[in-house]
Amino acid sequence: MEKKQDSFYEKEGNEPYGSCIPETARTYMESVGGQATEITEGEGQKTEKSEELRLYAKAAALIDGDSLRVLYGKDSDTRYPMASTTKIMTCLYTLEHGNLDDVVTVSSRAASQPKVHLGMREGQQYRLQDLLYSLMLESHNDSAVAIAEHIGGSVEQFCMDMSTKARELGLKDTNFETPNGLDSDGHYTTAKELAILGAYALRNETFVQIVNTKTYTFSELLKGGSHTVNNKNAFLTMYDGAIGIKTGFTSKASYCFVGAVKRDDRTFVSSVLSSGWYPKKTYKWADTKKLMDYGVNQFQKVAILKPCVLKERVNVSGGTKKQIQVQAQQSADTLLQGSDRLSYKLSWLDDGLTAPVKEKQLAGYLLVYLNGKLYQKVPLLTMEGCQTFDYGWCLKKVLSRFMFY
């Protein structure tokens, strides 16, 4: 059980863990007397501010690609169909579980998929890597099914596996029933979770390489028929620093897009769902530009924590030492804007430790709050051990002195 102390603010002669706080973070610290709240759902998120950007999309989200913090949201927790942005997970899951040199044999089910398609025929064979380029650059539905059957054994099993992967990533409102994003009642996500999925995918170097490729040529393996696929993501040439990710459209989902921008040390990932209806193809680009402009112009990367030794020591009961020094070994940074506010709390385990104590034993946590909500929980570890003050320890001390003299 943890025992919490009052929020810390820089005061003369009272900096129990002030050395943990970089100077860059102090600009964002709450004024003296403010209070940080207990942990709640939606840690460190901003409130919904859809009216400010006037987006076409019914739902949208902008996140920090590194910390996954939501920077902006419009109806971002409501479930919507996602169309071909589904293929982000199809590609990511395949990269994590498949061999890119595998040979994929096309089934009748894969060959019968509707447009947009590569034009596969039953019995044809393709290299798995080539099909991933077909999947992500031109969004071919037949390639998606061929990949799913090869990796999962069946489309149904592959979709179950993708849904399980979503749960592992903490995406509780995302479910897959198709590998290509064709409409299905149980196939959905939210703007926030789709952006988070995009951010996870960007951590895979091969995924980034694929979605940033302009054009790619490959051949069917049996008869050698050649295919050239071209990247349909126009955002790559619309915005400075754009690095992806995936478009989507169905009659139910309307236009969708997951975008990503990297500027210096900042990575922004956005998603828009149901961004205009046919033929308003450009709405998704306009929405994404607004989201990215908001991120680039409003947020800077700020160091909010650095490794340090706390001035305040943890109490030890029944030990040969009454107190032991502790340290925080982690550093952290995040994207902040001018209205963001940080606060910090020291939280010991119970009233301290009970001997015996080991070196690097958990003593408590340094809690970092962002806008009144718990953002990071940093372990505080002991810098030395401590034996139990008992008869055995006393006897050893006496004997050691006797032998010395």
- Catalytic machinery residues: 84, 87, 139
């980034």: which residue's tokens?
Answer: 208
Q: In the chain, what are the helix, strand and coil shares in percent, each to the nearest 5?
A: 30, 30, 40
- Taking residue 338's Cβ as centre, other Cβ atoms within 10 Å add up to 10
Nearest CA to 186 out of 177, 195, 194 is that of 177
Count, residues in the chain:
405
- The contacts of residue 333 (CB under 8 Å, 6+ apart) are 301, 302, 303, 304, 305
CA angle 331, 22, 66 (to 5 degrees): 45
Phi-psi region of 142 (alpha: psi -120 to 50; beta: other; left: phi over 0): alpha
C-alpha dist (Å) from residue 343 to 20, 34, 306, 338:
12, 8, 15, 15
372 CB burial (10 A radius; 0-12, 13-18, 19+): middle
Nearest CA to 243 out of 194, 197, 205 is that of 205
Q: Which helix (H) or strand (E) holds 301?
A: strand 300-305
Kindly state the tokens that stand for 201.
């995918």
